[in-house]
Structure 1
């Protein structure tokens, strides 16, 4: 049952990610991986909120936790895409943009996770 739950959630997360990728590309272009940056930051924030909620509330079933975190968020956020985007920027000769992308992705995503923790802790 766990595999089915993760499968369904992953499909939903990946579908949202694809929509964001298309929308951001239309609006901002493809010269910088804006969509992946946005997805990594928002995914980390949402994961922080969810993890803190699950830890402090403790009333969510394991199936719902699997569906949301491993499924939806797992399909939505992929740091493998982050790595590919960084390598493509580097290979294209945009070393400064690649470095900026790595710095922003890592620092703001981790800050987002801690922000999610802080928000839920303040509500508990």
Structure 2
């Protein structure tokens, strides 16, 4: 368990640094109020987790440790949106449409509500 946590943690550390650098570079390069940096990181992370899972499903090209490092660690640190997108796709692939709609809809709405409530809590304190 400790080994798995260290593998995921190290990947997350690297992913977080990549997210910061790429998002920051894009935001400084593009004059816009649209959050292009975050948007591009989320889409890139979703693509990468798809590539990594695709490679791991192909056969013996990737060990369990590398899969953990690249998906949970690197992609998870880069953007949790990639994990969300992968989980949603798995629900769709299993024809669990109700669970997909519930998961995607509630994740977005409750996430937005949670951010609002957190900010509101700090404002009233």
Give TM class, smaller chain.
0.5 to 0.7
Q: Which stretch of the first structure deviates more once superposed, 5-14 or 50-59?
A: 50-59
> For residue 17 of structure 1, what is the aligned residue in structure 2?
19
Q: Measure the CA separation in 2 of the matches of 1:78 and 1:48.
A: 13
Number of equivalences: 84
Structure 2 length-normalised TM: 0.60
Offset from partner CA, 1:42-83 (integer Å, 9 cap, x none):
111111111111001333211111111100000001339xx6
| Aligned-partner Cα distance in 1 for 2:7–2:57 | 21
Unpaired stretches in structure 1, ≥5 consecutive residues: 92-124
Q: Contact 2:11–2:73 at 8 Å: present in 1 too? A: yes
Aligned with 1:40 (options 39, 42, 45): 42
Establish whether residue 3 from structure 1 lines up as the match of residue 5 from structure 2. Answer: yes
Comparing 28-37 with 39-48, greater Cα deviation is found at 28-37
* Equivalent residue, structure 1, for 2:59: 57
Higher RCO (C-alpha under 8 Å, 6+ residues apart): 1
CA RMSD of aligned residues (A): 2.3
- The higher radius of gyration belongs to 2
Counterpart contact for 2:55–2:61, Cα < 8 Å: no
Structure 2 SS opposite 1:32: coil
- Asked if the contact 2:12/2:77 (under 8 Å) is kept, the reply is yes
Alpha-carbon distance, 1:30 to partner: 5.6
Hey, what's the Cα distance between the residues in 1 that align with 2:16 and 2:60? 27
